[in-house]
Amino acid sequence: MNDSIFIGGVAVPMDNTVDELKATGKEIIRRARIRLARNKKNVTGRLRDSMKAEVDIVEPKDTVFLAFTFKGAEYWKFVDLGVKGSLSSRKAPNSPYRFGTGSGRKGGLTAGIDRWVIQKNIKGTRDEQGRFTPRKTLVRLIANKIFTTGIKPSYFFTAPYDAVIKEREPKLALAIGQDLAALIIQALSPITTPE
């Protein structure tokens, strides 16, 4: 990857900035994984393993940014920010997501709950009369409850992101300053020509 941006057609190496952004991304991912485990949101490990932080310089090479990807775990935002239920918003009142909008994948919630029940090794339970409740019925009941009442946010990513960015702002500012100072020193250096 080219670690330079262009200012007025001049390449400005941003090595310190890129290094600091990489360290920041690594720390955010580390804390997000800890929070996932602490909140017991790490059943299969798929979400944990999908998290990546990447530093990039985009065309026309004038912006350095830190991007996070969750390859194979598109549902991360629902785990992070929660989802409002179709009948109640109490669990996730500030979430931008809501069940019942018709924009989601049909059967996605039920299939996900079925996989979760299998992973958690939840066996069928018994009702008030002592009758056994099969897994499919249990899955349907859980999915219906989640659909109507929503999913509480875990902020497994948002909380670490906000905390790490706040903690590392001075280091990032210093790194940017070092990169720009090197450019200024280079620009002010006398040009020597052979005689």
Quick check: 128 and 112 in contact, CB under 8 A? no
39 against 4, higher pLDDT:
39
pLDDT confidence of residue 170: 95
- CA distances to 2, 27, 113, 171, 184 from 17, rounded to whole Å, are 13, 15, 42, 9, 16
Tokens coding 193: 């020509």
Quick check: 151 and 82 in contact, CB under 8 A? yes
How would residue 94 be classed by pLDDT, with cut points 50, 70 and 90?
very high
Distance from C-alpha of 71 to C-alpha of 93, rounded to nearest angstrom: 27
pLDDT confidence of residue 104: 64
pLDDT confidence of residue 108: 73
One-letter amino acid for residue 141 of the chain: L
pLDDT digits (tens, 9 = 90+) for 2-23: 677 777 777 778 889 889 999 9
pLDDT confidence of residue 73: 81
Residue 1 pLDDT greater than 60, yes or no: no
One-letter amino acid for residue 180 of the chain: L
Quick check: 89 and 31 in contact, CB under 8 A? no
Q: What are phi and psi of 55, to 5 degrees?
A: -100, 135
In DSSP notation, 101-122 reads SS-S-TTHHHHHHHHHHHHTTP
pLDDT digits (tens, 9 = 90+) for 132-159: 788 888 888 888 998 899 999 999 999 9
Every domain of the chain and the residues it spans: 4-74+155-188, 83-151
Distance from C-alpha of 19 to C-alpha of 17, rounded to nearest angstrom: 5
pLDDT digits (tens, 9 = 90+) for 63-80: 777 788 888 688 899 899
pTM summary value: 0.79
Distance from C-alpha of 85 to C-alpha of 190, rounded to nearest angstrom: 67
Tokens coding 84: 């409002």
In DSSP notation, 25-54 reads HHHHHHHHHHHHHHTT--SSSHHHHHEEEE
How far apart, in Å, do the first and last CA atoms of the chain sit? 38
106 against 117, higher pLDDT:
117
